Structure 1
Amino acid sequence: MKKGGFSLKQEIRDLFHKGILSEAAKRHGVSVEQVRFVKDAENYVYEFERNQQPLILRITHTIRRNPNYIMGELEWLNYLADHGLTVSRAVPSMDGNLIEWIPAKEGRFLAIAYEKAPGKPIGKEDWNESFFQTWGAYVGRMHSLTKQYTLSNPAYKRQEWYEEEQLNLRKYVPEHQTQVMKKTEELMEKLHQLPKGKDSYGLVHADLHQGNFHWDKGKIITFDFDDIGYNWFMNDIAILLYNVQWFPTVPYEDREAFVRHFFTHFMTGYRKENDLDPWWYQYIPDFLRLRHMLLYGLFHQFFDLNDLKDEEANMLKQYRYEIENETPIVNLDFTAINV
């Protein structure tokens, strides 16, 4: 999940300049004057047109991502596109490369182009049971397709769920918070015992909230596959559940009632495309807590702990309390939901 205020590492900013952008644009067949800035959250992102086709240009540095790791993203993304899933496909440069390497003072910048997703962000007028079922069917289709996916090169393998950088709380959270570490490590040890069969575990998007797709004439077109990794299908769904609680397109009054309603319709759609054993429902609360812990690590990674704003300090205090006390993210018995 991308949070406002998180930005590129300063060492990447120090290496980036207009010449890098100019070279990236040139390698994709346009001039620097033809690219338009979009954002610089975790990568530099621009948009441009080539042969009247709208494209997105993403520029990152080897400090953040290595080329093989990115190829793991691009190969899976284009596999999904080749099998009929509506995604923003990666497109080659003028020399036919999915990744262009651009030398910098230190390391290299990596430039990748994608189709720009048509449509628009999901609106309040579309936020209903029919859309929830469409969303579920889309994720179900993605999970069904990933069961058949194999890497062309072992070097392209993406991270496993436990290799998420922000789950390494000992690296980011003050060492005196021993109870936070204990609860996190206990939960991760519990999850390590879960089965990883082909029908329940595989390469997933891991961040498929409504900010990462467009809605176009009744279809979802997904983009931003930067966080993909190996995970349980149910955890991929739980991450989505966590996100819609934080950022519902239409605000709700009763969290439990909303989550029950959303999950019921989402899974109705999902099960039309993929058969996931309802046995996994019992682990949704654990997966939601795991996401809470990951975000706690993420906040510590990006916040200036020596100069916290009041809002940031209060957020960290609340998260710490909830992690230490194993507070449920939502008070709901998912196993009682008959879908």
Structure 2
Amino acid sequence: MSDVVPSLSRADSPCAIAHAAMALYPPAERGVPRLLCLSENATYRIDLPGGGHRVLRVHRPGYHDATEIRSELAWLDSLHDAGLQVPRPICAMDGERLHHVGTAGMPGRHVVMFDWIDGVEPTPDIDPGSFARLGRITAHLHRHSRAWDRPRDFRRKAWTHATMVGPDAAWGQWQAAHGLDEGARDTVAHAMARAGAELAAYGEDAARFGLIHADLRLANLLIAGERTHIIDFDDCGFSWFMQDLAAALSFFEDHPRMPHWVTHWLRGYETVSHVGDADISVLPALITQRRVQLLAWGASHAHTEQVRSLGPDWNARCVTLCRDYLDGRLARRVGA
């Protein structure tokens, strides 16, 4: 896991809920919550009294309901049973993994505790071989997804063109991004219209569209020696299988090494499952669409350190990527 940052005040809502949640678990599973990450959810490291750690996720309100979260946990259970190394939810004293915890004067939030996975979050200097391992792991996820008989009450979000970059997109409106003049808006709009048309032609049949992780960016990987671990299935949902490759490039779609990452990811994926010509051809549309989805996310999170760390030219580079997609340069970079 990444370095621990100081705990928030007990008066802060997610921190107060994290402390209150400890009472749900057996004494051996209780510890002092220490904030690891505060983004959409609040994620805490729990140092166990007998040694070792756990991870406590305090869900943001209004994003997933209990059925959606239980569906995520059901997929993790099935992936684990199939031999894949994924985070494992921990049962509380009542035998349940999901709880709704509130404190006096504060709205409640869903909480889930997971086991700890050792590893280091990669940087853009990641060894391309790690992307080959990621491609192989992702192919195993997809193979499981295609074959899995999901529970009848299984429900997760669908990540389509409309829900990613449309007027009612789940992460906000890209048009609200700072610094976009009329020309920039026209470029992005044109790119999204073309991407939407390409994806409509590509289609959503079961061979191309299904249950995926949907957020396999560097922050959701842990590297431990020669092993690459996938964490944080909070955004898992239904989308194009190749969307998992687009998401793996998140925030670094215009990085000079991006073509090498794509090549190695595909090489690893092909050791398990076939990638067809149509899958390759649609990658520029998926990559550009994901970047514009992140542009929208950045507009609604402009106050956060994560968005500020992207730099003052990141939005302008989003427009450049859209232009490269429209001009065919992005396709040449990824070999589409």
Give the TM-score normalised by the residue count of structure 2: 0.77
Aligned residues of 1:278 and 1:335 also touching (Cα < 8 A):
no
Matched with 2:4 is none
Aligned residues of 1:238 and 1:288 also touching (Cα < 8 A):
yes
What residue identity is the alignment partner of 1:69?
E
For residues 20 and 269 of structure 2, the distance between their equivalents in structure 1, rounded to whole angstroms, comes to 43
Q: Please, which of 14, 25, 29 is the counterpart of residue 28 of structure 1?
A: 25
**Is residue 232 from structure 1 mapped to residue 232 from structure 2 by the alignment?**
no
Q: Alpha-carbon deviation of 1:102?
A: 1.4
Change (3 A) 1:206 1:328: farther
- For these two proteins, the number of residue pairs brought into alignment is 311
Aligned residues of 2:156 and 2:236 also touching (Cα < 8 A):
no
SS in 2 for 1:147: helix
**Is residue 83 from structure 1 mapped to residue 85 from structure 2 by the alignment?**
no
Matched with 1:261 is 260
- CA deviation string 1:1-59 (max 9, x = no partner): xxxxxxxxxxxx99716542332111123597533222222212111245645210011
Change (3 A) 1:266 1:246: same
Q: Alpha-carbon deviation of 1:260?
A: 3.7
Q: Alpha-carbon deviation of 1:196?
A: 2.3
Change (3 A) 1:64 1:200: closer
Matched with 1:45 is 43
SS in 2 for 1:152: coil
For residues 146 and 95 of structure 2, the distance between their equivalents in structure 1, rounded to whole angstroms, comes to 28
Matched with 2:3 is none
- CA deviation string 1:174-231 (max 9, x = no partner): 5995624454244224312323233322111122133212223422221111121211
Matched with 1:103 is 102
- CA deviation string 1:278-319 (max 9, x = no partner): 331111111111112111211221226xxx989866433443
**Residues 112-191 of structure 1 aligned to structure 2 (within 5 Å):** 112-122=112-122, 127-129=127-129, 131-154=130-153, 156-162=155-161, 164=163, 167-168=166-167, 171=173, 173-174=175-176, 179=186, 180-181=188-189, 183-191=191-199
Matched with 1:16 is 13
What residue identity is the alignment partner of 2:175?
V
Q: Alpha-carbon deviation of 1:66?
A: 1.6
For residues 259 and 61 of structure 1, the distance between their equivalents in structure 2, rounded to whole angstroms, comes to 32
Aligned residues of 2:14 and 2:42 also touching (Cα < 8 A):
no
For residues 309 and 134 of structure 1, the distance between their equivalents in structure 2, rounded to whole angstroms, comes to 31
Change (3 A) 1:317 1:217: closer
SS in 2 for 1:47: strand
For residues 308 and 220 of structure 2, the distance between their equivalents in structure 1, rounded to whole angstroms, comes to 28
Aligned residues of 2:253 and 2:291 also touching (Cα < 8 A):
no
Change (3 A) 1:279 1:39: closer
Q: Alpha-carbon deviation of 1:161?
A: 2.6
| Identical aligned residues as a percent | 18
* Structure 1 residue ranges without an equivalent (≥5): 1-12, 248-254
Higher mean displacement: 63-72 or 199-208: 63-72
SS in 2 for 1:109: strand
Q: Alpha-carbon deviation of 1:147?
A: 0.8
SS in 2 for 1:58: strand
Matched with 1:6 is none
Matched with 1:4 is none
Matched with 2:296 is 297
For residues 125 and 190 of structure 1, the distance between their equivalents in structure 2, rounded to whole angstroms, comes to 32
Give the TM-score normalised by the residue count of structure 1: 0.77
Q: Alpha-carbon deviation of 1:101?
A: 0.9
For residues 259 and 41 of structure 1, the distance between their equivalents in structure 2, rounded to whole angstroms, comes to 25
Q: Alpha-carbon deviation of 1:267?
A: 1.9
For residues 119 and 312 of structure 1, the distance between their equivalents in structure 2, rounded to whole angstroms, comes to 27
